[in-house]
Amino acid sequence: MTTRPTLTADFLPIPLPDYQERPIDEMRRGAQAFYDDIRTRHTVRDFSDRPVPRDIIETCIRAAGTAPNGANHQPWHFSVIGDPAMKKKIRTAAEEEERAFYAGRAGEEWIEALRPLGTDDSKPFLEIAPWLICIFGERKSASADGKFRKNYYVPESVSIATGFLIAALHRAGLATLTHTPNPMSFLTEICQRPDHNKPYILLVTGYPAANATIPKHATEKKDLSEIATFF
């Protein structure tokens, strides 16, 4: 027997508004269709400079903003950068960190793991792609009355929202790259975010270049039996 939460001024339940049950066969088709589509998503490092309308990016971010999160505090902020001068500044700072990373900061084991991907400290896509989306986690955020409150499960919440965003951009027909310069604290200053914001991912998005390639290593996916256990 389930005990219903006590109604209070803060807790006001409403009927589930949007759920529609589907026949089992339709569920199977829907699950398969999503899998068939999302498996064509690839991380791309060769981008075209073709413009992408801002409203498409806005809609994808709205989708990300529907992600489940701790206490519904929605502890994320998306800094969307299309300005060429700002992108150049980000590239300069990112490549400075990457040079140190590949020169020894990462350690040999990490560098060895990256070799099949063919990455290095040159990041031209940060200027070429039409949009960079810097995804911040907010350790605290303002409530409706302007007071700051602590946020909960910030890394988990931001990670889920990022997954939603990547899927939405793919569904819109755009390529993506999750870029994580190490460290990436320079993004807080460039994007003019407060100290209680932490940058998690710099998501690059746009059309893939006509000659875009991906490393063969990236197509090697583990079998279901290796990534899931059913009890």
pLDDT at 132 (0 to 100):
98
DSSP conformation letters of 69-135: -GGG---EEEEEE--HHHHHHHHHHHHHHHHHIIIIIS-HHHHHHHGGGT--S--THHHHSSEEEEE
Angstrom distances, CA of residue 62 to CA of 65, 104, 169, 173: 5, 39, 11, 16
**How does pLDDT run across 161-209, given as a tens digit for each residue?**
999 999 999 999 999 999 998 899 999 999 999 999 999 999 999 999 9
Band (2; pLDDT cuts 50, 70, 90): low
Query: Under a CB-based contact definition with an 8 Å cutoff, are residues 173 and 167 in contact?
Result: no
pLDDT-derived band of residue 223, with 50, 70 and 90 as boundaries?
very high
Assign 142 to helix, strand or coil.
strand
Average pLDDT over the chain reads 94
> Does residue 147 surpass a pLDDT of 90?
no
